[in-house]
Amino acid sequence: MDISPDFQGRYGKAAPLEKQGRPGASRVTIRQKPHCASRGGTRRTLVVTPQYRARCNEILNKVAMQDRWQWPMASPFGLCHCIHIRNPLMDERRFMTHYLVVTAIGTDRPGIVNEVTRHVSGCGCNIVDSRLGIFGNEFTFIMLLSGDWNSLMQLEISLPLRSQEWDLITMMKRTERHQSLQYDISANAEILIRDQPGIVSQCTQFFSDHGWDIQAMQTITLEQQPFNLLKASFQLNLAKQGEAAGSQTAFAGFCRELGAESFEFIVNHKHA
């Protein structure tokens, strides 16, 4: 059955609205193809109301969310046919494991983490990895979730609504399974220095200039008199363009220029 919105009347002219069945209705032309050689094709005009068009749009929107969907639709000619749509892309995705990164920020209070994790589990998602930190009066909860396509989609739709109830700010992003790169050389660096603006930025710039990739970083401010101290720890991996030789000496000179209280740089070689 071929449906074409030519908006033509019986004799090729547009019919007035009062003759189209209902006020404001639009017309589409249906050409019914023959099912055998003995039957000729017929041309008939179907009156499409706004409610009918809205129902069709609703069906097409649901098709994008499901792999197959069937809906019996009665035609105005006494026949009954079915719309059966299959999405091959969803057939492939339904058996795959997908990953989602979720970050939640809000005021720290008892039970809030339990509310978030319970909702995640209720959507059928698995928490692969997570980090929780308290910054001032706020908490930051970062999770790596895994699940099938429908589970993650359910969470992406429902979590923003629940976050408003919990007074949280949430961010989500689809990702892939982490592929760990194999580094032959790694290092642990630590520096204890008087706290002042720009210290962390200078440290990260030093590691970048010497070809070190920062895998993890943690900074803690130690409040004391007469001034606060900053303790920064880094887990490093040596990139291909970097050289391990001389990094310890260079880091020692760098820390002395900054006036660090103490520092260390330990290089680890991975043996096959």
Sketch out the chain's domains with CATH numbers: 2-90 (no CATH), 98-175 (3.30.70.260), 185-269 (3.30.70.260)
Contact 46, 22 (CB under 8 A): no
Phi, psi (deg, nearest 5) at residue 196: -160, 155
More confident residue, 172 or 269: 172
According to the model, what pLDDT value does residue 52 have? 66
According to the model, what pLDDT value does residue 61 have? 59
- For 209-257, write each residue's pLDDT tens digit: 998 999 999 999 999 888 999 999 999 998 765 577 788 899 999 999 9
- As a whole number of angstroms, the distance between CA 214 and CA 232 comes to 12
Average pLDDT score over the chain? 77
Mean pLDDT along residues 76-85: 42
- For 112-164, write each residue's pLDDT tens digit: 999 999 999 999 999 999 999 999 999 999 999 999 999 999 999 999 999 99
- As a whole number of angstroms, the distance between CA 43 and CA 199 comes to 79
Q: Smallest Cα–Cα separation from 214: which of 197, 228, 232?
A: 232
- As a whole number of angstroms, the distance between CA 154 and CA 168 comes to 18
- Number of residues that this document lists for the chain: 272
Other C-beta atoms within 10 Å of 145: how many? Answer: 22
Phi, psi (deg, nearest 5) at residue 149: -65, -45
